[in-house]
Amino acid sequence: MRFTAKAATAATALTAALSLTALGGAASAATPAAKSAPVTCTAATTKVTVKQVDRPLNHLLLKAKNTGTKTCYAYGAPYLRFDEAQSATGWLEDSTPQAVVTLKPGQTAYAAIGTSSPEGSEGRQAHELGVHFANRAMNGSVGAPAAAKLPRGGVYVDSSAYVTYWQTSASDALMW
């Protein structure tokens, strides 16, 4: 009986020691993962471009390619500022995706920009576009804006202009 009790105690001590070693290994293994945790996409870690599209009419396609070394989250929709506009272009709430768009290095997020419609007013030719990335709470932006080059000659925008939420494909963005 004594031998069994001693063997059980030794087995328990060995299990505890192995558990502590495993936990220590897991903790040190988690450290590199913490260093590579996803970050919020910003102009510093993405390349932003704008392309005029044939369909739908009066639309642009905004692309944000992750040029950083870490995965980044493209929260909500971009805050757009055409020229010296006093406020950001409105977000199209119906375009909200089911999940935050996650970009691994080299991947691209897409947003459609509706520039004008027959219902719009106060139209003008815009020549510059500032793109700000939304913070996690989607109540402000992070980092400096990216300057996106508009098509030659500028783009006609009016009060009906909008931007979709970030999408994982161009076709998903342009369906709005």
Q: What is the pLDDT of residues 9-56, one digit of tens each?
A: 443 443 343 343 344 444 444 445 446 799 999 999 999 999 999 999
pLDDT per residue over 82-126, tens digit each?
Answer: 999 989 999 999 999 999 999 999 999 999 999 999 999 999 999
Residue spans of beta strands (DSSP E) within the chain = 39-40, 46-52, 59-66, 72-74, 79-82, 90-91, 101-103, 108-114, 124-126, 129-134, 141-148, 155-157, 162-163
